[in-house]
Chain A
Amino acid sequence: MVAVDPRVQVLAWNHRAEDMWGLRADEVKGRHLMNLDFGLPVEQLNQPIRSVLSQEASHVELSLDCVNRRGRSVRCNIRANSLFAQSGEILGVILLMEERAPDPLPS
């Protein structure tokens, strides 16, 4: 799980994200997500994050081809979810990421 603030700077990066992408939380917190270099094509997350931040959508789900920290190509399911304050002010976007199980080989 990763969370970014309205400026798309990383607020939270959990151990699972460290394990998936090989970047430690203390390396990425406070940095702009789009400037991070890891196996997720972050440019493809830009529009979904903007949609959630602009409140066009409360959440967006997508699936991306990625390379995990072991160098393996994987498909990753991502859910981008808005996080609001009581005042209605948007606090950021939560990104839930899950490696999708490989499709079964054709018999």
Chain B
Amino acid sequence: MSVSPGPGRGAKVTRGDPALSVLLVEDNDDAREALRILLELKGQRVVTARDGREALQEVRAQSPDVALIDIGLPDVDGFEVARILRAQPENRDLRLIALTGYAAERDRALEAGFDDFLVKPVNPDALFTTLERVCTGPHPRGTVENRPNSPETRNN
């Protein structure tokens, strides 16, 4: 049995207040359900999508605070979803977190417009620490004007 340090040294999981509106995009039913339960236990409002097209529709319909997007989606993959969303000025404040089984995809994910990156299977500490880091304070990619891949800078 391995035991981690207690609070103060380990990552403390805290409930976001006020609740975040989270879009969770994952084609694997088990993974989607587990992440949805974790987020709901934390008090977040969760909408789910199974593929890239559904994700784009839900962003338009729900205007979530943050989207957790699996990279390996069956139709429009997660990289392409991020590029499309980043090209739309109305999504300037949307935070994007990539979900992938391959740590090596990190740079490609950030280049596509993701703000952060989680390796699956996602453990609760990593999920909540990343959500807190990405969703509190100024946008992690800087101001709209100097964000890479934003509509304001793309042709500069």
Using CB atoms and an 8 Å cutoff, list the residues of chain A in contact with chain B: 1, 3, 11-12, 14-16, 48, 51, 55-63, 79, 81-86, 91-92, 94, 96, 98
Contacts and interface: CB of A to CB of B under 8 A. Distances in A.
B4 A91 contact: no
Contacts of B11: 58
B125 A14 contact: no
A94 B40 CA distance: 12
B14 A59 contact: no
B70 to A, nearest CB: 17
Interface residues of B, number: 27
Interface of B: 1-7, 10-17, 29-30, 33-34, 37-38, 41-42, 121, 123-125
A25 to B, nearest CB: 10
Given A48-B1, A58-B6, A86 B34 contact: no
Given A79-B123, A96-B123, A1 B42 contact: no
The 3 closest A-B pairs by CB, nearest first: A58-B10, A62-B1, A85-B15
